């Protein structure tokens, strides 16, 4: 049983706020919420479960706000991704309960380095929508579905950076602008967050009080994040690069 004193509450509130801001803008809010949960003394599986519970609140706010501002491109990419995200997340959570995540983290680190190089070199990255609506073929639908499975699996297995991977994939491969990709990432992350925390909760791996406190802070941070996200690639690009660096550092630190 974890006792939440004043210092623990401050850690949860501060960590949740920054997680909400960053997660809404570009993804990767777990960089702030997960360390905060570890600092209050929660074990690893409980940290992941509680983190999903808290971030789901911010994902909900981000989804609603981005949709209201017209930043969503629902069909076909986002909706098909969602179909794959649900089973992928369940499989990811079940896997993380049984298998250490080191191998997947190495793969993700390599992907993040590649993403960082592309974003750094391509000055026009995500500044505008490159591809309008296209006809849906079986092959295209299958690719999108498999991506959804991967996004969901990663969300359930590890978490931090899933939004970043979604945004990158939709921008590079499907021609979304960064704002459109960020909007789609919000709803895909929402499905992943909610699915993951339900499965973790079924295994007793959620601290409800800590998650609620952090979740309220995440919501406040999400509102701030939506405000800054409206400036598009001008702010999203540098934030994306910063989060990539932080994610790589987070993965490398335990190795050294």
DSSP letter string, 171-235 = HHHH---HHHHHHHHHHHHHHHHHHHHHHHHHTT---HHHHHHHHHHHHHHHHHHHHHHTTTHHH
CA distances from 81 to 10, 141, 149, 171, 238 (A): 36, 9, 7, 14, 26
Distance in angstroms (rounded) separating the CA atoms of residues 230 and 227: 6
The whole-model pTM stands at: 0.79
Distance in angstroms (rounded) separating the CA atoms of residues 184 and 176: 10
Q: Nearest Cα to 1, choosing from 208, 201, 200?
A: 208
Residue 96 tokens, joined: 């993380």
pLDDT tens string, the chain, 256 residues long: the values are 577 889 999 999 999 999 898 888 777 788 788 888 988 888 878 888 999 999 999 999 989 988 888 878 888 889 999 999 999 999 998 887 776 656 655 665 676 677 667 666 666 555 555 555 556 688 888 999 999 999 999 888 877 778 878 888 888 888 888 888 888 988 999 999 999 999 999 989 899 999 999 999 999 999 998 888 766 556 666 766 776 677 677 667 765 5
């Amino acid at each position: 049983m974890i006792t939440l004193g004043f210092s623990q509450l401050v850690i949860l509130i501060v960590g949740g706020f920054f997680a909400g801001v960053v997660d809404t803008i570009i993804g990767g809010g777990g960089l702030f919420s997960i360390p905060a949960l570890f600092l209050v003394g929660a074990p690893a599986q409980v940290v992941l479960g509680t983190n999903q519970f808290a971030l789901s609140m911010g994902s909900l706010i981000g989804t609603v706000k981005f949709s209201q501002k017209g930043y969503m491109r629902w069909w076909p990419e986002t909706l098909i991704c969602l179909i794959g995200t649900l089973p992928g997340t369940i499989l990811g959570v079940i896997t993380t309960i049984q298998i250490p995540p080191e191998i997947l983290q190495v793969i993700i680190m390599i992907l993040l380095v590649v993403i960082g190089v592309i974003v750094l070199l391509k000055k026009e990255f995500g500044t505008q929508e490159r591809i309008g609506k296209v006809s849906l073929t079986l092959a295209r639908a299958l690719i999108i579905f498999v991506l959804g499975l991967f996004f969901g699996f990663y969300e359930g297995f590890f978490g931090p950076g899933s939004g970043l991977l979604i945004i990158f994939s939709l921008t590079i491969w499907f021609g979304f602008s960064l704002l459109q990709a960020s909007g789609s990432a919000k709803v895909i992350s929402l499905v992943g967050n909610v699915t993951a925390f339900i499965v973790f909760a079924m295994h007793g791996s959620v601290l409800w009080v800590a998650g609620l406190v952090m979740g309220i802070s995440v919501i406040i941070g999400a509102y701030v994040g939506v405000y800054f996200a409206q400036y598009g690639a001008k702010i999203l690009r540098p934030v994306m690069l910063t989060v990539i660096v932080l994610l790589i550092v987070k993965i490398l630190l335990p190795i050294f």
